[in-house]
Structure 1
Amino acid sequence: MDAFPGWQRICAFAGSLAAACVATVAAAQTAPPFAQLLRETNDAPRVGIIEADIDRAQGLARQARARPNPEISVYGENFGGSSPYRGFDQTETTVQYNQPLELGGKRSARIAAGDAAVVAAQARGVQGRIDFALDLARAYAAVEVANRRIDIAEDEVEEATDDLKVARALVGAGKEARLRQLQAETELGTLQSDLDGARATKTAALARLSALAGSNVTYVDISDSLLDRLAARPATGPIDPLQSASYLAAQADQQAAMLHVTAERKKAIPNVTAQIGVRRLEVTNTTALVAGIAVPLNLFDRNRGNIAAAEAEQRGAEARAQAARLEAEANARAAVALIEAADTRAASADRTMKTAEETYRLARIAYEAGKAPLIELLAARHGLGMARGVIIDAATARFDARAMLARLKGLTITGEPVQ
């Protein structure tokens, strides 16, 4: 009989608890710096979709080079009938090789369309990777913004708690009415709710970041700051909208659509099938060559529906290319203006923040000295909270402006080229 059954149970429980802790740590971790995270997203679903689209186009291009398969036919004549063809003495057996021949440049047109489709898929892939890098950066920055809003909410809760202590002391000393204490308590409860909402927003932002990165673990925080890194003004220089990834992808799609129309028109040209074979004549115990040509009659199927569909696709690709050009030109004009506006907004927000901090400091001193009512202190703290929010909003606007510029240049938000 075991003398220490209790100790065994305790050890087993401790082992289970340690395993659960290890599993929890493995299932939750801090996201790496953004540049590293972007490099580690090759297995992300959106990247997989891009690569699959390119692989599909390459497979179709390889298939476009294939020639029509030949046919081997074997058939017999003059047997199993009435006399003198009752048996097999009069049988004529033919083995024939049939080779379809594509005429009118059909194969070359098909190959050109397939190659153009690969180029278009690769151009869309570059655009897709740029858009993915931008969305990942925005998701990363959203976590940082949520962290800053949590910090602000925690500071406001702490300040409101201190103000409530002062209000209670003044009420206890008979220098304030009970109503002022209730107002301070209500204000604290509201700020506590704001803090809970900010924490929930961070949880949602982390979930989106994890999902977008294709991570099997749940990130609990980030290890890099994009907002601080982008505080410096970027060197804009001239922006050529016609070199943007979106316009180049639209152009490639237009070229592929045009060649697809040509390939579909070529399909209407009938193929010729060349035939050659050997015939065995049993009655004379001899062989002979047979040859022929088969030409289909295009009476019913002239590929008109596919041609019309390809032409409509071409018109749509031309319209999308024109729209992409106009959008790229508009974005190029807007990028510099938005960056200037964001920098001006950030500088103004910094000045507003300093003024609000000084206003709250003076209001706090006056209230503690009994020289100002509680309503002025609450108003000053509310103004400080708004100023802190303006700081975050200005940093977010600055990030968005720099992100648009990076997208136009085909770069990540940290300046690396996207391939």
Structure 2
Amino acid sequence: MSRWTYAALFSVAVLSLVNVRAAEPPVSLNEAVTRALNASATVKSREELIGGADAGVRQSGALPNPEVQVELENFAGSGPFRNLDDSELTLGVSQRIERSGKRDGRVAVAKAERDIAAIERDKARLDVALEARRSYFDVSAATVLLDAAKTRLAAASQIEAMAVRRVNAARDPITVKLRAEIQTAEARGAYDRATLTLQSAKSKLASLWGDAGASFSVDAKALFSTPKVSMEAQQDAAPDLKASEAAARRAASRFALENANARSDVSVGLGVRRFEFGGDLAGVVSVSVPIAIFDGNEGNIERAAAEQRAADLDLIQARRRLQRDVLTLQADATRARAEAITIRKELLPRAEAALRAARRGYDAGAFSYLELAESQRTLNELRTREVEVLRELHFALAALDRLSGRIAVASTDQGQQP
């Protein structure tokens, strides 16, 4: 296939790509996150668990049920007790009275479990939002890299045409033409790979919405925003820290409950007794208290105490881990932002100027093909590196928001797409 035929086909492909993008409905970052949250089965399941925990709170405050007692004495025996004439019938009601602290302890444990369920729901929402934001910037990066691959392929075709003219004019050896053809073939392969990468990234994002085959486009300019990195992360609102705090509260409540369970309850009964012989009636009052000789609940108390100590230690470790992760992400985001700004403001303008000079020099015979190819390669690498560090920046910012318990997309100062 001649270079002119390929150039024509490439132009048709580019126009088709532009038309396809124009027909795809645009999706903003906030919309992508919202769709993922609305479609998440994990978030919905956590909502159900909150409902179950609410029911647990209601159940924990329930009082013990009263008991109805029926007793028939002095019958089916011998002598005068052979029949029911001298029997005694007792009807009564008894109620177990819980000692102070048991009901309150159950309620405290249930409320702590309800808090944990709500925090787990919030963590699930944050995890979904984080994955959606990362997937969105994967699509943005893939879109930009596809455009860069298209530009690279067009530039390689132009350089190949220049090389062919010089070779045909006997100004360069045939090896220059072969090298230029190799560069064009490599650029064509990079373009094909970039196309597949974009398709894969879109499918991954759309799968979070429950529709992996959805047709859409993203605002690639969002990738070029370089928001400042906040050094004041809201660690007190971090859901992972809240989860550890709630677990510590639950452990403390369980310890208090087990101590309360060590105290025996009192059962009080009230009834009436009827004597068959004579038909007389009499009242009956009963009080019963278990004697804590064999079971003083010591084992459960010791276990709850150990679990409380472990939960307190886990909370300390959670604070340390959160602080470490925040500092690491802040450093990563700051580094990526600084590198992106340096590439955009300093390196890319110089690389573009060097390429323009190399093209003019090569066409005039002042520069060799290798110098021109090196200038083009440097520009291609810088554009790719810029996309990589911008992606790293937005990944780090999204992870910081996840740690701080934020779902809303941070405000950005828009950069300029090269």
Give the match for residue 216 of structure 2. Answer: 221
- The answer to whether 1:76 aligns with 2:72 is yes
- The answer to whether 1:324 aligns with 2:318 is yes
Distance of 2:133 and 2:279 partners within structure 1: 83
Paired letter, 1:33 = S
Query: Deviations for 1:333-370, whole angstroms, at most 9, x for unmatched residues?
Result: 55665554333212211122222222333333344445
Distance of 1:357 and 1:392 partners within structure 2: 17
Give the match for residue 360 of structure 1. Answer: 355
- The answer to whether 1:163 aligns with 2:170 is no
Distance of 1:122 and 1:97 partners within structure 2: 41
| 1:252 counterpart (243, 246, 249) | 246
> Closer, same or farther in 2 for the Cα pair 1:94/1:184, shift >3 Å?
farther
1:145 Cα offset (Å): 1.1
The within-5 A match list for 1:15-34 is: 30=25, 32-34=27-29
> Closer, same or farther in 2 for the Cα pair 1:106/1:29, shift >3 Å?
farther
Distance of 2:170 and 2:31 partners within structure 1: 60
Paired letter, 2:28 = P
> Closer, same or farther in 2 for the Cα pair 1:295/1:210, shift >3 Å?
farther
Which runs of 5 or more structure 2 residues have no equivalent in the other structure? 1-22, 412-418
> Closer, same or farther in 2 for the Cα pair 1:284/1:179, shift >3 Å?
farther
- The answer to whether 1:287 aligns with 2:268 is no
- The answer to whether 1:395 aligns with 2:395 is no
Tell me the C-alpha RMSD between the 2 structures.
Answer: 3.3
| 2:265 counterpart (258, 267, 271) | 271
Give the match for residue 113 of structure 1. Answer: 109
Q: Residue 250 of structure 1 contacts residue 320 of structure 1 at CA under 8 Å; is this kept in 2?
A: yes
Distance of 1:281 and 1:174 partners within structure 2: 133
> Closer, same or farther in 2 for the Cα pair 1:289/1:211, shift >3 Å?
farther
Q: How many residue pairs align between the two structures?
A: 387
> Closer, same or farther in 2 for the Cα pair 1:209/1:388, shift >3 Å?
same
1:127 Cα offset (Å): 4.5
1:99 Cα offset (Å): 1.5
1:388 Cα offset (Å): 0.5
The within-5 A match list for 1:140-159 is: 140-159=136-155
Give the match for residue 231 of structure 1. Answer: 226
1:265 Cα offset (Å): 2.4
> Closer, same or farther in 2 for the Cα pair 1:415/1:379, shift >3 Å?
closer
Give the match for residue 199 of structure 2. Answer: 203
Query: Deviations for 1:142-164, whole angstroms, at most 9, x for unmatched residues?
Result: 21111111111222222223333
- Secondary structure at 1:42's aligned position in 2? helix
Distance of 2:192 and 2:60 partners within structure 1: 59
- Secondary structure at 2:215's aligned position in 1? strand
Q: Residue 353 of structure 1 contacts residue 391 of structure 1 at CA under 8 Å; is this kept in 2?
A: no
- The answer to whether 1:188 aligns with 2:184 is yes
Q: Residue 129 of structure 2 contacts residue 407 of structure 2 at CA under 8 Å; is this kept in 1?
A: yes
> Closer, same or farther in 2 for the Cα pair 1:238/1:286, shift >3 Å?
same
Q: Residue 127 of structure 1 contacts residue 249 of structure 1 at CA under 8 Å; is this kept in 2?
A: no
- Secondary structure at 1:277's aligned position in 2? strand
Distance of 2:221 and 2:255 partners within structure 1: 47
1:258 Cα offset (Å): 1.2
1:394 Cα offset (Å): 2.6
Distance of 2:254 and 2:45 partners within structure 1: 23
Work out the percentage of aligned pairs sharing the same amino acid. Answer: 28
Q: Residue 245 of structure 2 contacts residue 315 of structure 2 at CA under 8 Å; is this kept in 1?
A: yes
Give the match for residue 313 of structure 1. Answer: 307
Give the match for residue 30 of structure 2. Answer: 35
Q: Residue 80 of structure 1 contacts residue 86 of structure 1 at CA under 8 Å; is this kept in 2?
A: yes
Paired letter, 1:312 = A
Distance of 1:153 and 1:396 partners within structure 2: 17
Distance of 1:280 and 1:230 partners within structure 2: 90
Give the match for residue 8 of structure 2. Answer: none
Distance of 2:83 and 2:188 partners within structure 1: 103
Query: Deviations for 1:247-268, whole angstroms, at most 9, x for unmatched residues?
Result: 3443233222211221122223
Paired letter, 1:142 = D
- Secondary structure at 2:216's aligned position in 1? strand
> Closer, same or farther in 2 for the Cα pair 1:133/1:276, shift >3 Å?
same
Distance of 2:294 and 2:182 partners within structure 1: 82
Q: Residue 50 of structure 1 contacts residue 125 of structure 1 at CA under 8 Å; is this kept in 2?
A: yes
- Secondary structure at 1:412's aligned position in 2? coil
Give the match for residue 131 of structure 2. Answer: 135
- The answer to whether 1:386 aligns with 2:361 is no
Distance of 1:225 and 1:320 partners within structure 2: 42
Distance of 1:158 and 1:144 partners within structure 2: 21
> Closer, same or farther in 2 for the Cα pair 1:387/1:72, shift >3 Å?
same
- Secondary structure at 1:218's aligned position in 2? coil
Distance of 2:333 and 2:324 partners within structure 1: 14
Paired letter, 1:139 = S
- Larger mean CA deviation between 141-150 and 120-129 belongs to 120-129
Paired letter, 1:154 = K
Paired letter, 1:346 = A
1:138 Cα offset (Å): 1.7
Distance of 2:78 and 2:256 partners within structure 1: 55
Paired letter, 2:289 = V
